[in-house]
Chains A and B, each alone.
Chain A
Amino acid sequence: MKLNMKIILFEIIRLILAFIFVLSSIEKLKDPYAFALSVDAYQVFPDWIVNLSTLLIPWLELFIAFGLIFKFKLRANLILFGSLMIMFTLLVVIAMIKGLDIECGCYGESSSKVGLVKLVENFIIILSCLILYYHIHVQNNKS
């Protein structure tokens, strides 16, 4: 019974992480130009990186989300999920250090501003991703 609860909890985490990326990618794909301006607002990247991010990130998020939902190459998708989240978190930290008053650009028009709340939110997501990855790693070793 206890084991079942644990498995259900991990399944819920997996689906929540997938939902976050589905939402995030759809909002970015709806208006790639607004997303490009959001990336540019961090004042960190040259134009070619802004363009590459606009091209790749929304689709990468969508594919990762599908991978998580359908358990396709789960570990690889979790690594990519975690890497993207760490990258986003670093950008939030840079924006905070620079004192920028900008939106994070995470969920299109409904994005919140960069700040401590966003940072905590990202840390929780990264932690959930790590826990899920470790769980899958342990499960694979058992089988």
Chain B
Amino acid sequence: MKEKILNLELIKNLIQIILLTLTFSVAYTLIVYGNFNFIEIARDKSNQKTKEDIREVSIEEAQVYFDKAIIIDARSEKDFSNGHIPGAINISVKNFDNYIEKIFELPQDTLLIIYCEGIHCNLSHQLAERLKTFGFKNLWIMYEGIEGWLKRNLPVKR
């Protein structure tokens, strides 16, 4: 007899696998982490790490220091050329090694204001962490990124 592509036995197996996974993952998480609220803890950890020595600032606060600071776009070269904050330079964290020479040219005591896409983007944090290892201490993250910039109808350079 020809077997159907999806039959009752198969559905039973699917349910068994899902239930087994659910039981195992719940037990493991309870024993190891004791908490199911991963995202809340992850956000807290991420904020804590940033707060240690990298400051997060709003666009308005950052703008006050624009003439004294170097503005860095942490996004890819493609995104940078599609539109960036006027005066910003590009250090794509994904191709960080290509920018080493440029990084050595940056004055260590100058304020660096870093941004990426928006509040969910992690590239500015990654770049700030890497720049920290090069001895830069004055690092700010403009957390609303280019999305926040565009929302305020501020100019972009293409």
Contacts and interface: CB of A to CB of B under 8 A. Distances in A.
A141 B4 CA distance: 9
Contact of B17 (A47, A76, A103, A137): A76
Interface in B52-90: 75-76, 79
B110 interface: no
Nearest to B123: A101
Interface string B135-152: 000000000000000000
B104 to A, nearest CB: 26
B41 A55 contact: no
A40 B120 contact: yes
B22 A102 contact: no
B7 to A, nearest CB: 9
Contacts of A140: 3
Contacts of B29: 55
Interface in A9-38: 32-37
Nearest to B5: A137
B45 interface: yes
A90 interface: no
A77 interface: yes
Contact of B122 (A41, A56, A79): A41
Interface string B18-53: 101110111011000100111111110110000000
Interface in A39-61: 39-41, 43, 47, 50-51, 54-56, 58-60
A37 B121 CA distance: 10
A71 to B, nearest CB: 13
A12 to B, nearest CB: 23
Nearest to A29: B28
A137 B3 contact: yes
Interface in A61-84: 63-64, 67, 73, 75-77, 79-80
Contacts of A55: 25-26, 29, 36, 38
A63 B13 contact: no
B70 to A, nearest CB: 21
A96 B18 CA distance: 30
Interface of B: 2-3, 5-6, 10, 13-14, 16-18, 20-22, 24-26, 28-29, 33, 36-43, 45-46, 75-76, 79, 94, 116-117, 120-123
Interface of A: 32-37, 39-41, 43, 47, 50-51, 54-56, 58-60, 63-64, 67, 73, 75-77, 79-80, 100-103, 113, 137, 140-141
